[in-house]
Amino acid sequence: MSPAAHTRTEEIDHAFLAAAQRGDDAAFLAIMRHYDRLLRIVAFHVLRDRQLMDDVLQDVTLRAYRSLRGFRGDAALGTWLSRITYRAACDAVRRNDRCWPVDPEDLERAAAPEGDPADVLAVRSTLEEAFAALSAEQRVAVLLVDREGYDYATTARILDIPAGTLASRLSAARSKLRRRLADHPDDEVPA
Amino acid sequence: MIPSRRHTPSDDRHRDEVLGRRLEELDDPQHGPGYWAALGRRLEAARAAEASAETPEHVSASRKTLRLDRRRAWRLVAAGAAMAAAVAVVALFGLPGVVEKTGPPAVEAEPVVARALRALASTRTLTADYVSREFDRTGSTAVSVERFHIVMRADGSSRATTILPPDNGDAGETAYHFIDTAYDAGTGIHRIYQETRSSEAGGQSGMAVSSASKTVGCAIGEPDREQGTTLKFAAFAAALRTARDGRARAQTFEGRPAWIVSCRLTATSASPLASDTQPAPPYDRLSVTIDKATGMPVRVRLWSDDILRVERRLENVVVNGALPAHAFSFSPPLGVSFDRRDDGFRLTTLDKLRARSGGALLPGALPAGYRLAVAATAARSPSLDRRLQGSSITALRYARGFDALTITTRDVRGLRRPPELDPFLYEWVGAPSRPDEVLLTSGAFAGATARVLVAPLTVPHLWVTRDGTLLTVGGAAGVNELVAIAESMEVER
């Protein structure tokens, strides 16, 4: 959303937090909708799976619902929710590495057909491929800092790493992205 | 009291803004259909559990059990029901009128849809033949067929001309209704010519009744501008957005390589296509066919209980071709003159709006790439339809290629306007829409409940009223984007 095309989510008015802590469910849902985009970004770019993203975010919402009364405001509410989301998404990755449930839709998949794999695989741009090649932590870090405009302190708190570690992870991610994007400029849709 | 916008300066000393701008090309992941409804149910269960004084450990154990049961259930389906599933798939895809046949494996629709949406956002002109069919409950008989030749330009100009069936000279009386409607965004003039003709046996021409009108001061976008050509095409974009969490298969369509994107629809997917004689069924499956070469959506289909009910197609599509100089204006035939009308909208600028007493309600945030195309005001709505009633109307139209967003505000004080009255849908349409209800948390409308509807064959839209001001946001956007725009509305002076 402009003025920058994507901007960091502003903190919600404190009145909504106070109401939610008093048990106002409409206010609580309003809080979750307010931060929804930020949490989707964090969860999806760890999990890289939409269904899992929805599952994790529903779990995060329930966790926040139960814990909100104890939220003391040591961090910004968005930061607190994002940190819960990042941890939950990382936990989900670890669990799913051990055991991947079979989706019935997968039953429809035939064996890999002959012919050009480009006809079978989803179309992905060079940018998407370069981005997907980063680690989960690098993806979230570079999105929050470089695209969304969050400061180092906030991003480090979300990722639960020291600011110095964040700086080095960001540097590595940026180098990797720039290198790949310079080597393979994206084919733009003609203007 | 309208809260002022607060911008917390960020530590951007180490922010790579060049890379950040490039990363804006990445699409935001969206929730699957029914996410918020399912979340609401889980919260209700959590509340009920708290109310019955279950311990948190018991609740989370129950939830964990539920999740394990679900996974176990899927494994059982996979291990024990693979044969049944294969038979079901063959039966499903083998039935006539049902969904597209199997072929190459299905993949995530998101990147395919994202590419199609980017193609729409960069399109400058489009010409095509638009064909619309609605089928009866058996799916075998088309109860309604429309054919138009459409021409569109990214500034919002559009033209639709009836494609008449060939005159086969059969015995018996035939009648047709011909329409030529053109809107020129450069002049804000809308022209319509209509002719109804009957012909009798032997091919002798019968009576013809014709009329023509020319309207100046047209509304610049939805909901005030009559839904016509732009709605026909906007429906394709809306269907794409609905289908982005579905699956895509590479197939051919009309002999050209294509993607077919399919998804299930939830109960909240409204169906604003009811006619007076045929209430709309609840659609439960949607497919969108995307031409690979142009990236354009060229067909939308809707099913109910596996019966095909609606099909919209674009044929003979030409993208970014040259248009003749007067593509969006015409003169009526000899002997017919235009009835002239003035709908009262006048073009203006943001500076003039801000200079008004009381300032102007303007959006502070928009989806990437949108630029203001035109702003207009009207003292009151030209329509007698109560859904559009209001005064001191301000309309802002933003464009991004073929994507457009129109934001309107109007004074509705003193009007008995039910909050659920949808400004974008005709009340006679029948089946009520089922929009999401969202409590807005910031901006001039903070604290008010907005209603948001994104459905396959209608312009995505939002409406909300606060302190006697009705806000509408309609166009090429998803639920979260519409809500974000509404929450960014502030008074500017």
B366 in reach of chain A (CB within 8 A): yes
State which residue of chain A sits closest to B90, comparing Cα positions. Answer: A108
Per-residue pLDDT tens digits for B61-118 = 333 333 333 333 333 334 334 333 333 333 333 333 333 444 567 778 888 888 888 8
3-state secondary structure of B242: helix
Name the token pair of A85: 């989301």
Let me know how long chain A is.
191
Residues 439 through 458 of chain B touching chain A, CB cutoff 8 Å: 439-442, 446
Task: Confirm whether A42 is domain-assigned.
Answer: yes
Per-residue pLDDT tens digits for B321-353 = 998 888 999 988 888 888 999 999 999 999 999
Task: Confirm whether A5 is domain-assigned.
Answer: no
Residues A88 and A137 in one domain: no
Q: What is the pLDDT of residue A104?
A: 34
Q: What is the pLDDT of residue A5?
A: 46
pLDDT (mean) for B311-322: 90
pLDDT (mean) for B136-165: 85
3-state secondary structure of B368: coil
- Closest CB from B19, B89, B104 relative to A177: B19
Task: Confirm whether B258 is domain-assigned.
Answer: no
Residues A17 and A69 in one domain: yes
Q: What is the pLDDT of residue B112?
A: 87
pLDDT (mean) for A37-64: 91
Task: Confirm whether A107 is domain-assigned.
Answer: no
Name the token pair of A71: 């939220």
pLDDT (mean) for A156-175: 91
pLDDT (mean) for B374-380: 93
Task: Confirm whether B53 is domain-assigned.
Answer: no
Task: Confirm whether A4 is domain-assigned.
Answer: no
B276 in reach of chain A (CB within 8 A): no
Angle value at C-alpha B290, between B115 and B166, nearest 5 degrees: 145
Task: Please count the other Cβ atoms lying within 10 Å of the Cβ belonging to residue B296.
Answer: 21
Residues A53 and A89 in one domain: yes
3-state secondary structure of B338: coil
Angle value at C-alpha B257, between B254 and B258, nearest 5 degrees: 85
pLDDT higher than 60, residue B9: no
State which residue of chain A sits closest to B5, comparing Cα positions. Answer: A10
State which residue of chain B sits closest to A47, comparing Cα positions. Answer: B29
Q: What is the pLDDT of residue A129?
A: 82
Residues A87 and A123 in one domain: no
pLDDT higher than 50, residue B244: yes
Domain that holds residue A150: 116-186
Q: What share of residues in chain A are helix, strand, coil (percent, to 5)?
A: 70, 0, 30
The residue ranking higher by pLDDT, B216 or B40, is B216
Phi, psi of A2 (to 5 degrees): -75, 165
B280 falls in which pLDDT band (50, 70, 90)?
low
State which residue of chain A sits closest to B93, comparing Cα positions. Answer: A108
3-state secondary structure of B386: helix
B55 in reach of chain A (CB within 8 A): no
| Number of domain units in chain A | 2
The amino acid that residue B27 corresponds to is D
A174 in reach of chain B (CB within 8 A): yes
Task: Confirm whether A151 is domain-assigned.
Answer: yes
The residue ranking higher by pLDDT, B76 or B389, is B389
- Closest CB from A1, A102, A125 relative to B484: A1
User: A108 and B35: CB-CB below 8 Å?
Assistant: no
Q: What is the pLDDT of residue A97?
A: 58
Provide, as residue numbers in chain B, all residues whose Cβ is less than 8 Å from the Cβ of A58. 35, 38-39, 42
B191 falls in which pLDDT band (50, 70, 90)?
very high
- Among A144-153, B117-126, B473-482, top mean pLDDT goes to A144-153
CATH number at residue A28: 1.10.1740.10
Residues A91 and A26 in one domain: yes
User: A50 and B29: CB-CB below 8 Å?
Assistant: yes
The residue ranking higher by pLDDT, B118 or B203, is B118
The amino acid that residue B319 corresponds to is V
User: B105 and A108: CB-CB below 8 Å?
Assistant: yes
Task: Confirm whether B387 is domain-assigned.
Answer: yes
| Mean residue pLDDT across chain B | 77
Q: What is the pLDDT of residue B49?
A: 75
pLDDT higher than 70, residue B430: no
Q: How far apart are CA A11 and CA A34, in angstroms?
A: 9
- Closest CB from A53, A65, A104 relative to B29: A53
Shortest Cα distance from A137 to chain B (angstroms)? 16
Q: Which of B287, B303, B312 is nearest to B138 (CA)?
A: B303
Provide, as residue numbers in chain B, all residues whose Cβ is less than 8 Å from the Cβ of A114. none
B80 in reach of chain A (CB within 8 A): no
User: A37 and B85: CB-CB below 8 Å?
Assistant: no
Residues A47 and A83 in one domain: yes
A177 in reach of chain B (CB within 8 A): yes
Residues A97 and A150 in one domain: no
Q: What is the pLDDT of residue B412?
A: 95
User: A103 and B74: CB-CB below 8 Å?
Assistant: yes
A163 in reach of chain B (CB within 8 A): no
Q: How far apart are CA B415 and CA B469, in angstroms?
A: 11
3-state secondary structure of B165: coil
Residues 53 through 82 of chain A touching chain B, CB cutoff 8 Å: 53-54, 57-58, 61-62, 65-66
Task: Confirm whether B424 is domain-assigned.
Answer: yes
Residues 156 through 195 of chain B touching chain A, CB cutoff 8 Å: none
The amino acid that residue B140 corresponds to is S
Task: Confirm whether B407 is domain-assigned.
Answer: yes
Residues A48 and A92 in one domain: yes
| B297, B239 Cβ separation under 8 angstroms | yes
A33 in reach of chain B (CB within 8 A): yes
Provide, as residue numbers in chain B, all residues whose Cβ is less than 8 Å from the Cβ of A50. 29-32, 108, 110, 245
- CA quadruple B85, B86, B88, B92: dihedral positive or negative? positive
Task: Confirm whether B27 is domain-assigned.
Answer: no
A99 in reach of chain B (CB within 8 A): yes
User: B19 and A174: CB-CB below 8 Å?
Assistant: yes
State which residue of chain A sits closest to B480, comparing Cα positions. Answer: A37
The residue ranking higher by pLDDT, A87 or B277, is A87
Task: Confirm whether A174 is domain-assigned.
Answer: yes
CATH number at residue B358: 3.30.200.100
CATH number at residue A175: 1.10.10.10
Q: What is the pLDDT of residue A120?
A: 33
Angle value at C-alpha B358, between B354 and B362, nearest 5 degrees: 45
B489 falls in which pLDDT band (50, 70, 90)?
very high
B108 in reach of chain A (CB within 8 A): yes
pLDDT higher than 60, residue B151: yes
Task: Confirm whether A24 is domain-assigned.
Answer: yes
Q: How far apart are CA B493 and CA B491, in angstroms?
A: 7
DSSP per-residue string spanning A127-160: HHHHHHTS-HHHHHHHIIIIIS---HHHHHHHHT
A150 falls in which pLDDT band (50, 70, 90)?
very high
Distances (CA, A) of B276 to A71, B132, B279, B302, B430: 54, 17, 7, 19, 8
pLDDT higher than 50, residue A7: yes
User: B247 and A105: CB-CB below 8 Å?
Assistant: yes
Provide, as residue numbers in chain A, all residues whose Cβ is less than 8 Å from the Cβ of B24. 5-6, 147
User: What ipTM was predicted for this assembly?
Assistant: 0.80
Any idea what DSSP says for residue B430? -
Residues A67 and A144 in one domain: no
- Closest CB from A16, A174, A177 relative to B441: A16
Residues A92 and A47 in one domain: yes
Task: Please count the other Cβ atoms lying within 10 Å of the Cβ belonging to residue B306.
Answer: 13
Task: Confirm whether B320 is domain-assigned.
Answer: no
Q: How far apart are CA A44 and CA A54, in angstroms?
A: 9
A176 in reach of chain B (CB within 8 A): no
The residue ranking higher by pLDDT, B172 or A34, is A34
Q: Which residues contact B216 (CB under 8 A, 6 or more apart)?
A: B188, B189, B340, B341, B342, B343
Angle value at C-alpha A24, between A22 and A25, nearest 5 degrees: 135
| Number of domain units in chain B | 1
Residues A89 and A120 in one domain: no
pLDDT higher than 60, residue A112: no
pTM: 0.61
Task: Confirm whether B419 is domain-assigned.
Answer: yes
User: A146 and B85: CB-CB below 8 Å?
Assistant: no
User: A107 and B368: CB-CB below 8 Å?
Assistant: no
Shortest Cα distance from A149 to chain B (angstroms)? 7
Q: What is the pLDDT of residue A171?
A: 92
- Closest CB from A31, A51, A146 relative to B32: A51
Domain that holds residue B483: 343-492
Residues A72 and A123 in one domain: no
